[in-house]
């Protein structure tokens, strides 16, 4: 069987499974997720053994440290996956929920009901925990899922898929509700992107190159974000200790992820106070700075002049662009020109300017006096996320269970006919 035929078979099976999942009871879905949590805990050694095969192959291939970190399934990561299963299981089931009802003059009752999207395809790299996160969110929302992880996580993903299938089958639900593509052939991605007859939406999660390739190939809607160019604006009169702590966390805690801070904009009135503190604190953890002429002499020996391409750059490293601005207007203009609609934060003690920043900064999450690292489904209370969308259709921001549903109009009548 060729790759195209294999992928079409997966699509056909997913479409059939999606019909069953759409009418699965809330109790059955909860039972599947709770059982999967137990299996993840029970099979920790077997998960680690599968993951070790991937890690050994990745190391032999010369994979860099940040990607190795994302690939590794530690006991803590496995425990977090199990916890996510239970958190999502405990959430309200949105399927079938009537969001609102209103009555027309002719007596018709009109409402909107939440429904599953159908078949969700997911293409992702490195992180095998995404297999579980994606599966549990799709299942809770009544969808079927086709998951295509990177070849570097093949053994990990296949074993995790076997646990998901066990949990589904034990509850009498179709194992085909979650299918992990059983080949590393790159043609599988191209074929998956053409399955609009079966797949309702496709979500690429990985580097910008992968996402742009999927957008170019896909014949169905794509939920995506290209990159995370996250800014922090230090406002006039900001609490300096708070600002330095938040910026340190946002840049240093995990510099390779999409919600890591990439640029700091500092109001000119704060530059001489806050920039030496930022320079000292972050340089101690190895951060290098790309600075505008006004920021450069205030950041210490780890700073070099910024080039034009440093503004709007996603460094994925301990590198931070820094610019002094004369007003919030200038900061917002810079964000509009160089941001990626991912995450923007303001450090301020002024309520009115905080509220203005929330309204005007165009990003999937905007925060006041909090780290950009909170733009994450788990941190925002969604339990897990299937990805972060920086396009406003159909979702903006981390995608949890509710974001994996749509809505339809329902009408209750008593024999009305249209005049």
Structural domains in the chain, sorted by start: 3-223+403-412 (3.40.605.10), 230-374 (3.40.309.10)
> What digits encode the pLDDT tens for the residues 71-111?
999 999 999 999 999 999 999 999 999 989 999 999 999 99
What is the predicted pLDDT for the residue at 66?
76
What pTM did the predictor assign? 0.88
For 77, phi then psi, to 5°, come to -65, -40
What is the predicted pLDDT for the residue at 171?
97
Please name the residues in contact with 51: beta carbons below 8 A apart, sequence gap of 6 or more: 71, 72, 73, 128, 155, 156
What is the predicted pLDDT for the residue at 39?
98
118 Ramachandran zone, left/alpha/beta (phi>0; psi -120 to 50): left
What is the predicted pLDDT for the residue at 69?
87
What is the predicted pLDDT for the residue at 392?
83
Q: Which residues of the chain, if any, have pLDDT below 50?
A: none
What is the predicted pLDDT for the residue at 56?
97
Burial per residue of 165-175, b for 16 or more beta-carbon CB atoms within 10 angstroms, e otherwise: bbbbeebebbb
What is the predicted pLDDT for the residue at 243?
98
Give every strand in the sheet of 261-267, ordered side by side.
303-305, 288-291, 319-325, 261-267, 230-234, 343-347, 365-368
């Amino acid at each position: 069987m060729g790759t195209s035929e294999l992928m079409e078979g997966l699509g056909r099976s997913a479409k059939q499974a999606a019909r069953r999942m759409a009418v699965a009871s809330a109790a059955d879905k909860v039972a599947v997720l709770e059982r999967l949590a137990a299996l993840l805990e029970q099979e920790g050694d077997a998960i680690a053994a599968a993951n070790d095969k991937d890690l050994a192959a990745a190391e032999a291939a010369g994979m860099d440290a940040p990607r190795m970190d994302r690939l590794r399934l530690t006991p803590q990561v496995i425990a977090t996956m199990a916890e996510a299963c239970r958190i999502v299981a405990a959430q309200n089931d949105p399927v079938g929920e009537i969001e609102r009802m209103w009555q027309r003059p002719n007596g018709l009752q009109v409402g909107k009901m939440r429904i599953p999207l159908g078949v969700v395809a997911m293409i992702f790299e490195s992180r095998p925990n995404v297999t579980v996160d994606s599966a549990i969110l799709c299942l809770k929302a009544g969808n079927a899922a086709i998951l295509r992880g990177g070849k570097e996580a093949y053994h990990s993903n296949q074993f995790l898929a076997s646990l998901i299938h066990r949990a589904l089958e034990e509850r009498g639900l179709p194992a085909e509700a979650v299918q992990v593509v059983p080949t590393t052939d790159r043609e599988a991605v191209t074929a998956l992107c053409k399955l609009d007859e079966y797949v309702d939406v496709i979500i690429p999660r990985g580097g910008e190159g992968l996402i742009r390739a999927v957008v170019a190939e896909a014949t169905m809607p794509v939920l995506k974000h290209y990159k995370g160019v996250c800014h922090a604006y230090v406002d006039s009169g900001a609490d300096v200790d708070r600002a330095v702590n938040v910026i340190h966390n946002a840049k240093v805690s995990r510099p390779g992820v999409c919600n890591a801070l990439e640029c700091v904009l500092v109001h000119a009135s704060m530059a001489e106070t806050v920039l030496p503190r930022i320079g000292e604190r972050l340089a101690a953890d190895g951060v290098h700075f790309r600075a505008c002429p006004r920021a450069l002499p205030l950041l210490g020996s780890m700073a070099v002049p910024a080039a034009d391409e440093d503004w709007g750059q996603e460094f994925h490293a301990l590198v931070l662009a820094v610019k002094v601005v004369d007003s919030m207007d200038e900061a917002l203009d810079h964000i509009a020109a160089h941001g990626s609609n991912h995450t923007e934060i303001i450090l301020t003690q002024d309520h009115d300017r905080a509220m203005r920043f929330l309204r005007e900064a165009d990003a999937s999450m905007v925060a006041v006096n909090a780290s950009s690292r909170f733009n994450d489904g788990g941190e925002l209370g969604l339990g897990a996320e299937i990805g972060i969308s920086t396009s406003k259709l159909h979702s903006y921001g981390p995608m949890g269970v509710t974001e994996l549903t749509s809505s339809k109009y329902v009408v209750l009548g008593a024999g009305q006919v249209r005049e």
